[in-house]
Chain A
Amino acid sequence: MVENVGTLFQWLIFLGVAFVSILASLLVITRKNPIHSAVFLVLTFLCVAVLYLLLYSQFIAIIQIIVYAGAIVTLILFVIMLLDLEEELRSGLKLLYSKVLGSALAVLFLFAIIYSVAAMPLTGKLGPYPPGKLSQNVKTIGEVLFTRYLFPFEIVSVLLVAAIVGAVVLSKRKK
């Protein structure tokens, strides 16, 4: 009975968060003011972070809030305020044949995804990390990241340095 209550809460949280995240992402692509889009983007990211918690990934949920909802959206908001986008506000959403066609193809793609995930059950070999082990998340991720994935980790650090240098060089005002 106690497990039933827990599962019921999982369902309630999943359904509520899924509804809010779909609504927020629809608002992101329909608002005319880019600031509103960025703020609804934060809401989408927070909902996805709650879904990560449901999937026993606390580390990724925290990183999601810090990096995405914190750093990237702040950067986007700064750039929106730096640029004077008044004329973009008025142009808004214009319907053209190419856009309708593109959206129809995207919806078709969604149906393909739904069919492909619903037609077959999840197959594949189970790994050595059951939920009990996954829930000690940071320790396990650290162990895997610094042993098996050490080389990609170093490559990512080089990539981040290159991105910092590139951003500084690009945004420097030329004399």
Chain B
Amino acid sequence: MAIPSVPPVLFLILSGILFTIGVIGALTRRNAIIVFICIEMMLNAVNLTFITLSRFLQSMDGVIFAFFVMAVAAAEAAVGLAIFVMIYRSRGTINIDEINLLKW
């Protein structure tokens, strides 16, 4: 008897679980860097969905999209972490409950 190969549904459910864990982390943690890490995890889960659908629909578009998502994530990491450093210099904290003003 032949074992069926891993169905796409399991990959999609796993990516949903990773995304949800990222959402919960971004909502419950107060350290801006942890929130940033959780956002990266959510981007990664979305990439997993793209690659899964690209594999099972036999198309290359999902792979290209995952590539672009990674480029945007790298740009976001550079600018976002520079903003954290700047906020820390001017306010002395990166607790997102205390950073509640756009201008001071």
Contact = CB atoms under 8 A, between A and B. Distances in A.
A174 to B, nearest CB: 9
A14 B10 contact: yes
Contacts of B55: 55-57, 131, 134
Interface residues of A, number: 87
Nearest to B27: A102
Interface residues on B, range: 35 or more
Contacts of B10: 14, 18
A145 B18 contact: no
Nearest to A34: B33
Contacts, number: 240
A124 B17 contact: no
Chain B residues touching A, majority SS: helix
Contacts of A130: 58
A16 to B, nearest CB: 12
B41 A140 contact: no
Nearest to B66: A60
Chain A residues touching B, majority SS: helix
Interface in B38-76: 38, 40-41, 44, 47-48, 51-61, 63-64, 66-68, 70-76
A34 B34 contact: yes
Interface string A1-16: 0011001101100100
A141 to B, nearest CB: 6
A80 B31 CA distance: 11
A152 to B, nearest CB: 6
A106 B82 CA distance: 29
Given A26-B21, A102-B28, A60 B51 contact: yes
A128 B41 CA distance: 31
Most B-side CB within 10 Å, residue of A149, A160, A162, A163? A163
B71 A170 contact: no
A106 B23 contact: yes
Interface of B: 2-6, 8-14, 16-25, 27-31, 33-34, 36-38, 40-41, 44, 47-48, 51-61, 63-64, 66-68, 70-79, 81-86, 88-89, 93-95
Given A4-B2, A28-B25, A166-B82, 10 more contacts: A55-B52, A57-B66, A64-B47, A87-B93, A102-B24, A102-B28, A107-B20, A113-B16, A134-B55, A141-B67
